Amino acid sequence: MIEIQDFLRYSRQMQLPEIGELGQLKIKQARVLVIGAGGLGCPILQYLAAVGVGNIGIVDFDKVELHNLHRQILYTENNIGQLKSTSAKTILENLNPHITIQTFEEKLSETNANEIIKNFDFIVDGTDNFTTRYIINDACVKINKPLIYGSIFKFEGQVAVFNHKNSKNLRDIFPEPPNPEDVPNCSLNGVLGTLPGIIGTMMAQETLKLILELPTLNNELLLFDTLNLNFTKLKF
């Protein structure tokens, strides 16, 4: 149920007719799993925690490094060497002590994906490699979980919603993952620090719209060229 502290904390968003008390209750009762607590995961986690998503899961086995800090603004130099998942949990609980956060300090794989994903309502893919993205996608299709997808490269980002109310999934766009050697990545090609913040916030927005049962991307891949401020929607 909605309590006095909820009204005080979330009053600005509850004033929106699309949210109100019922919408805030949906947010409070939602169970969202964020896979990856890096560049995309940081803004996703910060906003989901701040708006009151009641149950958040974090999957990440990596540790905070100095080169993360220009874009992974959830962390500070004090967190270097610590596990991202446990650091994120502590920081987010300070941001909002009225939510529950569960961590999985392990690498998502074909072996554990179904077991981790099954207990959450919405899955958010904040990973940075195609192997894991396809594992997440296939698990969501198998156990029928909506998936919020995003990726970044240099100045460009992509956002999509997969497997929601019989919508299509990643394999409907790209049936097979590319050869890892052919895929550019941020460690070799770079990324401007603000880009994951932009795309991650958009992913958090789509997640909240799913929770609130508002219109979301449907069989559409949203491309955002932040250098020239151009949006493109590709139907699939």
Tens of pLDDT, residues 48-57: 999 999 999 9
The position carrying tokens 């929770």 is 211
**Cα–Cα dist 96/91, whole Å:** 9
Query: Is the model's pLDDT at 162 over the cut of 90?
Result: yes
pLDDT score for 184: 62
Closest to 62 (Cα-Cα) out of 78, 38, 27 = 38
Token output for 81: 């060497």
pLDDT score for 25: 98
- CB of 46 closer than 8 Å to CB of 38: no
Token output for 158: 């992509």
Summarised one tens digit per residue, pLDDT across range 99-139 is 999 999 999 999 999 999 999 999 999 999 999 999 999 99
pLDDT score for 183: 63
Residues across the chain = 236
Strands 55-59 and 31-35: parallel
Model confidence, pTM: 0.95
Sorting pLDDT into bands at 50, 70 and 90, what band is 187?
low
Q: What angle do CA 72, 78, 80 make, to 5 degrees?
A: 60
**Cα–Cα dist 98/205, whole Å:** 21
Query: Is the model's pLDDT at 182 over the cut of 90?
Result: no
pLDDT score for 192: 94
Sorting pLDDT into bands at 50, 70 and 90, what band is 153?
very high
Summarised one tens digit per residue, pLDDT across range 34-80 is 999 999 999 999 999 999 999 999 999 999 999 999 999 999 999 99
Biggest distance spanned by C-alpha atoms of the chain: 54
**Cα–Cα dist 191/127, whole Å:** 15
Sorting pLDDT into bands at 50, 70 and 90, what band is 178?
confident
Summarised one tens digit per residue, pLDDT across range 189-220 is 788 999 999 999 999 999 999 999 999 999 99
Helix residue ranges, H only, the chain = 4-14, 20-29, 41-51, 84-95, 113-117, 130-143, 170-173, 186-189, 194-211
**Cα–Cα dist 141/150, whole Å:** 17
Instruction: Give Cα separations from 115 to 92, 109, 140, 146, 200 (angstroms).
Output: 24, 10, 11, 16, 25
pLDDT score for 186: 60
Q: How confident is the model over 130-157, as a mean pLDDT?
A: 97
